[in-house]
Chain A
């Protein structure tokens, strides 16, 4: 069974631009979560989607948004990029409830903002 895939793997953007990251969950998984990983803040939860609905959201500004499609694929968007948005963005999928089901992580998208 194929794992979680994320595209692109690497991105370089400049301040003020916007970016869209994509995540394809494991087949049959309906929950997709996004996390930001930085050396200073560690791993922080961004949001979680289930059946195209956002069920939970972390403490990030409104510049960070996401959506989920009917095939469970998810995208996250960051508008008006800031230098501090440079991070590894990880996507994770689970069958139903991340609180009880195991979450499987993708390899991440490394975003660099110049």
Chain B
């Protein structure tokens, strides 16, 4: 079945450091890929998405490129801020697989120190 694997955290960075959170996936069809962010005590917020190979999603300085050849969707940001501290989830939606559901990775906690 479909699955998403992302690097375990926590990831601890200093402010203005470069961020990479790795995400790889397994899917039966041609999935859409997503990054969601969860701040303490809140639900999930969509950060960015990509719906086909080589698409780049971007938002708030974050970006990720849909790489079909490596089945990856790594999240990057050039300069993190303290306010980026949160848990980040990689997810996929596979129309050719289970269809109407999101499959999530385990989440990666990011801690940014001033």
Contact = CB atoms under 8 A, between A and B. Distances in A.
Q: Do A and B come from one complex?
A: yes
Interface of A: 4, 31, 33, 35, 42-43, 45, 48, 50, 55-56, 58, 90, 92, 97-100, 102-108
B46 A104 contact: yes
A105 B44 contact: yes
B89 A43 contact: yes
A47 to B, nearest CB: 9
A45 B49 contact: no
Q: Is the interface of B mostly helix, strand, loop or mixed?
A: loop
Q: Is the interface of A mostly helix, strand, loop or mixed?
A: strand
Interface stretch (B15-23, B63-71, B77-85, B92-100): B92-100
A48 B101 contact: yes
A102 B100 contact: no
B101 A45 contact: yes
Q: Which residue of A31, A50, A108 has the most chain B CB atoms within 10 A of its CB atom?
A: A108
Interface residues of B, number: 24
Going nearest first, the 5 A-B pairs with the smallest beta carbon separation are A43-B104, A105-B44, A105-B43, A99-B95, A45-B101
A33 B100 contact: yes
A33 B44 contact: no
A39 to B, nearest CB: 10
Given A43-B104, A43-B107, A56-B100, 8 more contacts: A42-B106, A43-B89, A45-B98, A45-B102, A48-B100, A56-B99, A99-B99, A100-B51
Contacts of B44: 90, 92, 105
Given A42-B104, A48-B100, A100 B32 contact: yes
Nearest to A45: B101
Nearest to B46: A102
